[in-house]
Amino acid sequence: MNLTHTDSTLPIAPSSRAASDRSPHQSASTPPVQPGVASVTHLTNRLGEYMTPAELKKVKEAYRFSDEAHLGQMRMSGEPYISHPIAVAEICADWKLDAQAIMAALLHDVMEDQDVRKDELIERFGAPVANIVDGLSKLEKLQFQSQVEAQAENFRKMLLAMARDVRVILIKLADRLHNMRTLGSMAPEKKRRIARETMEVYVPIAHRLGLNNIYRELQELSFSHLYPMRYRVLGKAVRAARGNRREVVSKILESVSSTLEATGIPVQVYGREKTLYGIYTKMVNKNLSFSQVLDVYGFRIVVDSFANCYVALGTLHALFKPMPGKFKDYIAIPKLNGYQSLHTTLIGPYGTPVEFQIRTQEMHRVAESGVAAHWLYKEDDENNLSDLQQRTHAWLQSLLDIQKQTGDSAEFLEHVKVDLFPDSVYVFTPKSKIIALPRGATALDFAYTIHTDVGDQTIAVKINLEQVPLRTELRNGDIVEIITAPTSRPNPNWLSFVRTGKARSAIRHHLRTINLTESIELGRRLLSQALVTLNLPAEIQPALAERLLNESSAKSLDDLYADIGVGKRMAALVARHILSLIEHETVVVHPDVDRHGELVPKKIDPVVIYGSEGVSVQLGSCCTPIPGDDIIAQMKRDQGLVVHTMDCDVARRQRNKEPDRWIDVVWGADIERRFDCRITLLARSEKGILARVAAEIGESDANITHVGMDEDKDNLMTHLHFTVQVEDRVHLARLMRNLRRINGVTRLLRAKG
């Protein structure tokens, strides 16, 4: 996490050239202020500053409608419920959102709480307002299997509505902010649940859209409810530290203000105190005590022009020594959310590190309000968008792309969460175009960012003109070139290392659609096996199938089998669900019982593996099983069945973690393909040894797919590493017997792990 981006503004000392935009009572180290009851008079006065009388009249009409709809409804705090929509509208008015958005903010709960129909809103206030309200309303009338599924589907509905109209998320964030400010009347467990949801979803969305004031406040409020004791203790420590550090801060403020005044640059100097959450995460991530966190205070310098940002930077570096590696130019390369500033950390008086942020007034406005500084919602405005708007528009469009490739709500939300990371790396295409990706993104993520087809057809990648593996993590400044082939297709193993939601959803979509027949057949076999284990018929009866599909959200039995085949659903859990349906319907089942009346599990046949099933069955790269090995298989989400040898160390560790995901498998008969196997030889370093070994492998009717070698430090012995293709263990044993006869080979083994 970039802690310098989680600061709050705090006046530190009076100065003719220094200013502050917050009161000491609103500082980061005091508990958030609980707002009073919102006033419609105050709201209309605020709106009157930028709206026409005609627009204001429409807003008042929406207020009267909402007031009547919520008449008699109270909040948990005892306030009239209408105070909440007014407060949400006031927050939106701070961004100067248009009349439609303010009307939607006032009406945002009438569909969900008061059963007002969408067509009624369309008739009274127009389709745009009704669509926004609909996007903000939860799907409470539908039936879901679990609270998690319901929550995921509601998030998907909201995010897709946001992709079509960004005002949806602006109003939702305002709604969440007011709810978090007034969370005090809730039960402790509910507080923690709402705070956790806020921290996991709404905080990163606010950051992604550049709404940094809301981002910081939501973060701080969530922290105060998730860890109230830590919040209080840390707040007390910060308040005590203010007095101890005031002399240092005042001296820095005075020096900086007078030095910048001498340059003649119009400038404002703000003192800043980090939020408690920013201090807390730094303590946790770097294992520091509070006394070791030296840069609790920092300074923000706001100048009048782009050029003077760099003049002010040079002036500061002449005043205090900069810390090596602590300078970042977010003006030349802005963050994904449009944030621009120069960041530098200097060694101040008494050796204290002090951070400075330098920006213009316009950069400061965007840094605090993000996309709301000049929000967009009209599709026909795309040619006139600012750089920030274009990036936001591209991200919103990517949500629609992920939606098209995603199977269900939980998966969609998982992909979106992956992309909601504040830190980014910036890399270049061969034509010098800058591409921003989440930190930890790989070369393959870069390929999918360029285009889904490019990612699907990737066969190799070059970083800084050197060929590297697809899983290589990107670093700032890398020049990335993707090599494709029309015949190339995604590999299930790619899911183990790609980082971005777009890449993951594209790969999963391909595996689901291209290999659908294989996945359906495998899922059918796995479910039949699980049903027999519970003493149930292997085939699902039609009446039972209809009930099962209604409760599982699958469109057909084939969809259900495909989900099981790619590991998205567990066959054992589906089988138990079927058993519960049978028991509920009091259908008589005649299981086998022993003389004591105990259920006798039926002996079931293992799943037969032929190695030619396609991507629905993968052979573990850790142990490279071949026919004749004792094997076992793991169901991995979106990778289907992954087969390991019984003695595989990786399999042993995974079985301890997830024992329910393992099933018995056996090799089929009459297998007509060859399998990769790794062998390692220790041989004397002498002329022609590699040629003799390679020739013997060919004579033994085995293919070489890879070869490598390592020499010892004295150049006396050589390790030869081969990947060879054999038919089975008998073929491998014959090959190894022949290799041991070669003069110069002193040791030979099959390599695993």
User: Do 295 and 354 contact (CB within 8 A), yes or no?
Assistant: yes
Say how many C-beta atoms besides its own lie within 10 A of residue 742's C-beta: 15
> What H or E segment, with its residue span, contains residue 360?
strand 353-360
The residue type of 119 is D
> Which residues have CB under 8 Å from 484's CB, separation 6+?
447, 454, 457, 458, 459
User: Do 493 and 527 contact (CB within 8 A), yes or no?
Assistant: no
The residue type of 392 is T
DSSP secondary structure, 585-611, as one string: TT------B-TTS-B-PPP-PPEEE-S
User: Of the listed 21, 98, 112, 197, which one is catalytic?
Assistant: 112
DSSP structure class, residue 494: G
> Which residues have CB under 8 Å from 406's CB, separation 6+?
412, 415, 505, 508, 509
CA distance 420 to 201: 8
CA distances from residue 628 to 88, 726, 729 in whole angstroms, order as listed: 67, 11, 5
> Which residues have CB under 8 Å from 437's CB, separation 6+?
424, 425, 427, 445, 446, 449, 474, 499, 500
CA distance 222 to 191: 9
Q: What are phi and psi of 624, to 5 degrees?
A: 40, 70
Q: Is 113 a catalytic residue?
A: yes
CA distance 370 to 362: 11
Q: Closest by alpha carbon to 410, among 281, 508, 510?
A: 508
CA distance 145 to 550: 10
User: Do 65 and 124 contact (CB within 8 A), yes or no?
Assistant: yes
> Which residues have CB under 8 Å from 31's CB, separation 6+?
224, 231, 235
> Which residues have CB under 8 Å from 144's CB, separation 6+?
150, 153
User: Do 355 and 320 contact (CB within 8 A), yes or no?
Assistant: no
User: Of the listed 61, 98, 113, 473, which one is catalytic?
Assistant: 113
Active site residues: 112-113
